[in-house]
Structure formats: C-alpha cells, structure tokens
Amino acid sequence: MFNLFLAVSPEIFLINATFILLIHGVVFSTSKKDDYPPLVSNVGWLGLLSVLITLLLLAAGAPLLTIAHLFWNNFFRRDNFTYFCQILLLLSTAGTISMCFDSFEKERFDAFEFIVLIPLPTRSMLLMIPAHDLIAMYLAIELQSLCFYVIAASKRKSEFSTEAGSKYLILGAFPSGILLFGCSMIYGSTGATHFDQLAKILTGYEITGARSSGIFMGILFIAVGSLFKITAVPFHMWAPDIYEGSPTPVTAFLSIAPKISIFANMSRVSIVASYGGTLQQIFFFCSIASMILGALAAMAQTKVKRPLAHSSIGHVGYIRTGFSCGTIEGIQSLLIGIFIYASMTIDAFAIVPALRQTRVKYIADLGALAKTNPILAMTFSITMFSYAGIPPLAGFCSKFYLFFAALGCGAYFLAPVGVVTSVIGRWAFYYIRLAKRMFFDRPRTWILYEPMDRDKSLLLAMTSSFITSSFPYPSPLFDLTHQMALSSYL
C-alpha cells in the first residue's frame, strides 16, 4: 500500500506545496497587522523551491520505477521515458519561474496567485506525461489548460493580456471538447479506456480490415484535439496573438511546458493507436504546414515576440516530423528536438524581457546591441542561430537527426521540404535579420538597456552552454533519448 504513495510522492508533494503556498500567501497578504505585504517575491522563491524539491523527489524515486508499475492498472505507467520527460518539464518550469522575478519588480506586479498558478499546471503535466488511460489524459490536459487560461490574462491593466486570455480560453476549450469527443467515441466503439487494452484492440486495425468508423473518428478527433493544443499549423489560429499578449514569463511557460507534456502523451497515444495511415498522414501534413508557416510568416513581423511565437510554431513543426514516423528513431529525434527546443526557448524568452528600458516591442529597438551590451548580443545570436539550424550549434544537431529519422521511415517528401524551409528561414532574413540588426545597424538614437539581473543571467549561461556544447559532445543526449525511446515502446 505504501509503495503506491511513494510512487506518486513528487506529485503529492507539489500539490501540498501549492496549497500551503496559496494559504500562506492569502493569509499573510490580507492581514492588517502586517500592513498587507505584497508577497509575490516571497511566494515566488518558495514556489521555485518547491519545484526543485519535486525534482529531487522524482530523481530520488528512480529506483522505485520498477515497483511503480503497481499503478499500471489504473492511471499511469512510469518508465524511463516518463522519468526524463518529467525531469525536463520540472527543469523548464524552474527556469520560467526564475525568469519571472525581475518582471515582478519592474512592473510592480503584486498578485501572488500568479506564482501559485505555475506549480499547479506543472503538477497536472507531471500526471499527464505518464498517463495511460484516456480519462487520466483528458483530466490532466483540462486541468493544465485551465490554469494557463488564467495566467495568460494576469496583467489586468493591459488590454493585450485580457485579449490573450480570452483567446486562449476559446482556443483551449474547443479542442478539449474535440479531444473528449474522440475519447468517448473510442470508448463507445471499444469499451476500453486504458491504453493497454486499447493497444490490444487497435493493433493493426487498418490492415486487418476490422475497421470501424467509430474508432477511426475517435482517433481522428483525439489527434486533432492534441494538435490544437500544441498549436500545430492548420489549427494555430490565435496562437501568435496569445503569445504576444500574455506577459513574457507566461509566454515562455506556454511555449515550453504544454508542448513537452502533450508531445509525450501524444507519442504514447500514437503508439497505442498503432500509427495507422490516418494518423501518420495528419501528422505529416501538419508538420509540413508548420514548417512552411514558421519560415514564411515571420518575415513580415516587426515586433519581437511575434516572430518568436511563429518560430516556436515552426520549430514544433520540425519536431513533429520526428514524431510522425512511427519508428524508434522517430521518437528519439522527437525527444532530442524537445530537449534542445526547451533550452533554446528558455534562452530566447529570458533575453526578451531583459531588454527593457522601455519595454522592447519592436525589432528596431535591438539596434546596435552589440555595442551597448555585447555579451547579451552574442547570447541572443547564439540562440537565434541555433533556431535557424546553423552547424556548430544544437539546433542543427536536432534538425539533422529529425530529418534523418524522417528519411529513415520513408517520408521522402517531408525531408526536402524541411530542409528548404529551414534554409528559407535562415537566408530570407528572419533569424539572421535579428542578428544583423544587433550587430550592424546604427539606430538613430542610442538605446541603453539596464543590466540583466542575476537569476536570468545564470539561466542564460546554463542554457547557452548546453546549446553550444551539444554539437561537439552530443552523446549523453543521444544515449539518454535512445533509452527513453526504447522504453516507451516496451
């Protein structure tokens, strides 16, 4: 009996910590005798600490992985794949929380509930990654989305933020409905919600001719719902608006954490639903469309956050190519892509709010950054070049492996399209344009930025070093992801 609870002790700890933080924050920030202190930084550091302790608990619970299969029958199944995905998720969350502190001080943001609303979806994402049942998957996705709707609208005085929040609500509630509809169709046609049972029922259902339109529709709807949630291209309609209008740490959180967890979950679902012709075609189409859109749509942008949003959509498209092939190399390339994508995105979003004297909204504001703050310019350009896929950096590594996996499974159309769009994104002055602005432009008035605070600079140092060291020494990453991919197929 106790083994069951030890197996979920990271999540239980995170839930309890969130509630205690909430009560601590609300009791002390409304108490008259302490003169109503705004507890944002306090709760923020405690929140960061609780996420890190959860990480420790997760790492310490690794020997329990073999025993933790006791939960197999009910909701989730933990193995190496989920273990490392959860670690990546917790690390990204810790990174985004540490990005928030500076913006709290500068903008005099005093709602501590914002911080409480970050470990809460993290906990539901921790439960979503190993979810092995349709009901568990849906509940976790819903819980995670609800918290995000709120924090996307958290800058109450800004219209942009409110608009982003309501757009995200609509863009998130609708695919939850579609996802649930798909789950109910599959349950109605097969009578099983647990992935193991579904795997037995759905094995090769396209080939054996035992097709049922209910199952087909169910899988289609689940795939479409999940694709909405990771803002894949035919379904990405308001995602740039959401990413632009939300406060920057929220955008960072939004572009990393749900992608990790939904990709992990989707790869589980796709393995179970046996990667039939329908699923693969949908994912291929979405990947191609995402890559093309990510490369082309960012050309016309003048602000800084919108091209980051488009580039994240495009990069997620690249990652999805790895995922659309049903092979182990596919899952491995997906995981490599996600690790590198997470560090690049944390990098990019840590730099953007750091450039503030007035807030940086337009790209023209980046002019001559190389003269005023050369290290920041170099870090930003490393990140941008990594996004573009230029060789000595990690982005090239991940793209190379993704296309390699795609060619390996016979997607002969997809890989050239990917290469071409990556080149367009590179040459057609998109990422390179930012670098040019920074290094070679001379603005009319010199813009002076305040120096960056300590937490963000630490974060930037860690992620940039990961990006630059990934190419010469990629083997730990490759080994790790190979193990993860293998264990997810077991």
Partner 1 sequence: MFLLHEYDIFWTFLIIASLIPILVFWISGLLAPVSKGPEKLSSYESGYYMFALVFVVFDVDTVFLYPWAMSFDVLGLSVFIEAFIFVLILVVGLVYAWRKGALEWS
d(CA 50, CA 41): 14
Task: List the structure tokens of 87.
Answer: 């670690």
Query: Minimal distance in Å, beta carbon 2 to partner 1?
Result: 13
Q: Which is nearer to partner 1, 127 or 382 (CB)?
A: 127
d(CA 359, CA 355): 7
d(CA 313, CA 319): 10
Query: Minimal distance in Å, beta carbon 455 to partner 1?
Result: 28
Neighbours of 181 (CB within 10 A): 16
Q: Which is nearer to partner 1, 19 or 413 (CB)?
A: 19
Site string for partner 1, 100-129 (x = CB under 8 A): ------------------------------
Q: Which is nearer to partner 1, 109 or 449 (CB)?
A: 109
Q: Which is nearer to partner 1, 23 or 56 (CB)?
A: 23
CA distances, 159 to each of 126, 387, 421, 427, 490 (Å): 32, 30, 35, 35, 49
Positions 26 through 65 that interact with partner 1 (CB under 8 A): 26-27, 30
Query: Minimal distance in Å, beta carbon 447 to partner 1?
Result: 41
CA distances, 453 to each of 98, 318, 456, 459, 474 (Å): 10, 33, 6, 10, 30
Tell me the CB-side half-sphere exposure of residue 349, using CA atoms within 13 A: 32
Q: Which is nearer to partner 1, 33 or 442 (CB)?
A: 33
Positions 358 through 417 that interact with partner 1 (CB under 8 A): none
How many residues belong to the site for partner 1 (CB under 8 A)?
6
Positions 11 through 30 that interact with partner 1 (CB under 8 A): 19, 22-23, 26-27, 30
Residue 447, C-beta contacts closer than 8 angstroms, at least 6 positions apart: 357, 365, 367, 368, 372
Do 160 and 144 meet the contact criterion of CB atoms below 8 Å apart?
A: no
Q: Which is nearer to partner 1, 28 or 72 (CB)?
A: 28
Query: Minimal distance in Å, beta carbon 159 to partner 1?
Result: 17
Q: Which is nearer to partner 1, 27 or 60 (CB)?
A: 27
Query: Minimal distance in Å, beta carbon 113 to partner 1?
Result: 9
Query: Minimal distance in Å, beta carbon 211 to partner 1?
Result: 30
Question: Is residue 4 a contact point for partner 1 (CB under 8 A)?
Answer: no
Q: Which is nearer to partner 1, 27 or 59 (CB)?
A: 27
Taking the C-alpha atoms of 67, 68, 69 and 70 in order, what is their torsion angle to the nearest 10 degrees? 90
User: For 179, phi and psi rounded to 5 degrees?
Assistant: -60, -45
Positions 312 through 341 that interact with partner 1 (CB under 8 A): none
Query: Minimal distance in Å, beta carbon 22 to partner 1?
Result: 6
Query: Minimal distance in Å, beta carbon 24 to partner 1?
Result: 11
d(CA 477, CA 302): 35
Do 240 and 310 meet the contact criterion of CB atoms below 8 Å apart?
A: yes
Query: Contact positions toward partner 1, by CB under 8 A?
Result: 19, 22-23, 26-27, 30
